[in-house]
A and B are shown apart, each in its own frame.
Chain A
Amino acid sequence: MTFLKEVWTYIKDNLDMILIYTGQHLLMVLFGVAAALIVGTLLGILCNRYPKVAPIILSVANIIQIIPSLALLALLMLYFGLGFYTVVVALFLYSLLPIIRNTYVGLQQVDRSITEAGHGIGMTYFQLLTKVQLPLAMPFIMAGLRIAAVIAVGVATLAPFVGGDGLGREIFSGINSRNDIRIYVGAIPASILAIIADLSLGTIERRLKI
């Protein structure tokens, strides 16, 4: 009880800072995931269009996913230096695989007869993609986006290692000063962000199902 009270007092006293951290956190996730959504969807479309490049693209994305997040951040720091954008690039790379894979699977599962019909009635490749295939693959793409966003919120807490901001700052200060209250104050909003992202994107995903 006293512990909760302490957390609450801390939050009350440092609300401004926590809100700023949360905002920074959210911003990094948004930038990284949005970039991954654009690039990942395009790569997924490419995989579907050219079956020969699909294994190459998917393996590369897989390998990126395998690199431990801390190591990836460290490696990126060597090229991009310290700061916000290094984190964004890391989040972008981490989000690629679920989005590429889900876009690819989503496009693959569109019934062949539907694409044949679209083709047969005289749709161009682009019309077929935008009017038929992508709308039908949308629930899958959204599911990928959801996984990516949840992962990204977690990974973003490592930002302070490479000079980034966000809720990770609070956690690291807590670790350094052996203050468990600060660790919680950083971790709880991060978890809540992850849950909100999961629920809201999940709702959109269900809405998009036919």
Chain B
Amino acid sequence: MIRFANVSKKYNDGFQALKNIDLELESGKIHAIIGPSGCGKSTTMKLVNRLIKPTSGTVFINNDDISKIDPVQLRRKIGYVIQNIGLFPHMTIADNVAAVPRLLKWDEQKTQTKVNELLSMVHLDPSIYRDRKPRELSGGQQQRVGVIRALAAEPEIILMDEPFSALDPISREQLQNELVNVQEELKKTIVFVTHDMDEAIKIADNIVLMKDGEVIQVGSPDFILRHPANDFVKDFIGKDRLREQQEIPTVKEVMTDNPATAYPERGLAAALKLMEQRRVDSLIIVDQRRKLLGYTPILNVLGHYQDETKTLGDVMLPFTYTVEPDIPFTVALEYMSQHNLPYVPVVTGEQRFVGIITRGSMVRLMAEVFPIEEIFPNGEVV
């Protein structure tokens, strides 16, 4: 666990980079420190490996005051990945990865095994890449090496300073995914500085939002999206993302709960009359306990209309797809568009019929989410 206790940092030029930071970063999690430029996020991170000394306050790692630990020894136990990758250009990939184990005077055999293992982990075949120089690799591959160099000496804590922001979007996406995968296995305490909210939401277990040297809000990505602490957080997250995150309504909230239903014993003439009354082209067939049996489209009713002995039960068709009331509405929509259904019945356990989702339900919902005033501010409805 990393703990900042009342930490302030004032640079020599008088710039107050951090103001009384109190923060606890739990072990085994990815913590994204995020905020606009100059908010103190990098400064906060660099306090951990003593690249920056606080003006006042204390930083603890597992309750040890780090100002009492030799900075060189401290840094060898903390992985460090920087934005500009910073591989040593005159060393081979293997030597770059082996840098920290060698500083720690690991047994050479053990170092080499570790290097090969790590290269394989990030899908760089050791037999091909070991002896290459960094400049022979693409930017994405170089930063993979940068990440595994930080992992090589098996540190508990890894600091990453905007590690993927200089990469092209495809490599960035891949590296983010790989980081999440690697983390699932290794469970390191990762302090990840970024200015990209999408990145933070994607990889972090915990987000620390900073502004002007202060911590504004701390919480899981989900918590921050659902409960932004103030307007700054809302702005920083962005309207679009908040809207996305607005709770998706459940099927129950959107469904039509009084569609035209009929018992299977009803005759076809009566059924036709009911359809006419309710202005629908099919009836949902349920039994007395409202168990869903099937449906009859108007064409089936008309097709057997001459036969007075037939009832709805004889001409009805079964439903192939049903949905439950507590699933998100979008899942029902997905079904409808996949199977090209005009509507889908909603049933609870034991096939009890409670309502239907139609295309009309979707239109109504859209009207609620995007109120007309927003699109036509002057009320001009064309």
Partner of B99 from A119, A121, A124, A210 at Cβ < 8 Å: A121
A-B contact pairs, 8 of them (CB 8 A): A111-B84, A111-B86, A117-B86, A120-B82, A121-B150, A122-B100, A123-B72, A210-B90
Contact between chains at B86 and A114 (CB < 8 Å):
yes
Interface membership of A59, Cβ < 8 A = no
Interface membership of A132, Cβ < 8 A = yes
Q: A113-B82, A119-B51 are in contact. Are A124 and B88 (CB under 8 A)?
A: no
Q: A113-B82, A113-B84, A116-B82 are in contact. Are A121 and B89 (CB under 8 A)?
A: no
- Chain A at the B interface: mostly helix, strand, loop or mixed? helix
Q: What residues make up the interface of B, taking CB atoms closer than 8 Å to A? A: 49, 51, 72-80, 82-90, 99-100, 103, 133, 135, 146, 149-150, 159
Partner of B85 from A113, A119, A123 at Cβ < 8 Å: A113
Contact between chains at B90 and A136 (CB < 8 Å):
yes
Q: A127-B103, A210-B133 are in contact. Are A122 and B86 (CB under 8 A)?
A: no
Partner of B103 from A111, A114, A121 at Cβ < 8 Å: A121
A136 CB to nearest chain B CB (Å): 6
A-B pairs, 6 with minimum CB distance: A117-B86, A113-B84, A122-B75, A122-B76, A120-B80, A113-B86
Contact between chains at A117 and B87 (CB < 8 Å):
yes
- Chain B at the A interface: mostly helix, strand, loop or mixed? mixed
Q: What residues make up the interface of A, taking CB atoms closer than 8 Å to B? A: 111, 113-114, 116-124, 127, 131-132, 135-136, 210
Contact between chains at B75 and A118 (CB < 8 Å):
no
| Bound: A75/B269 CA distance, A | 129
Residues of B within 8 A of A122 (CB): 72-78, 100, 103
* Apart from A113-B86, A121-B75, A123-B72, 11 more pairs, CB < 8 Å: A111-B84, A113-B85, A121-B76, A121-B80, A121-B100, A122-B75, A122-B77, A122-B100, A122-B103, A124-B72, A127-B103
A27 CB to nearest chain B CB (Å): 33
| Bound: A117/B91 CA distance, A | 14
Interface centre among A116, A119, A121 (most CB of B within 10 A): A121
Residues of B within 8 A of A132 (CB): 88, 90
Contact between chains at A116 and B89 (CB < 8 Å):
no
Interface centre among A116, A117, A120, A122 (most CB of B within 10 A): A122
B312 CB to nearest chain A CB (Å): 76
Partner of A123 from B49, B77, B103 at Cβ < 8 Å: B103
Residues of B within 8 A of A124 (CB): 72
Residues of B within 8 A of A123 (CB): 72, 103
Partner of B89 from A114, A119, A127 at Cβ < 8 Å: A114
B185 CB to nearest chain A CB (Å): 22
| Bound: A139/B76 CA distance, A | 30
| Bound: A141/B238 CA distance, A | 52
Residues of A within 8 A of B89 (CB): 114, 136, 210
Residues of B within 8 A of A117 (CB): 80, 82, 85-88, 146
Interface centre among B73, B84, B149 (most CB of A within 10 A): B84
Residues of A within 8 A of B49 (CB): 120
| Bound: A124/B75 CA distance, A | 10
- Cβ-closest chain B residue relative to A135: B90
Residues of A within 8 A of B74 (CB): 122
- Cβ-closest chain A residue relative to B84: A113
Interface centre among B80, B133, B149 (most CB of A within 10 A): B80
| Bound: A114/B83 CA distance, A | 11
A104 CB to nearest chain B CB (Å): 19
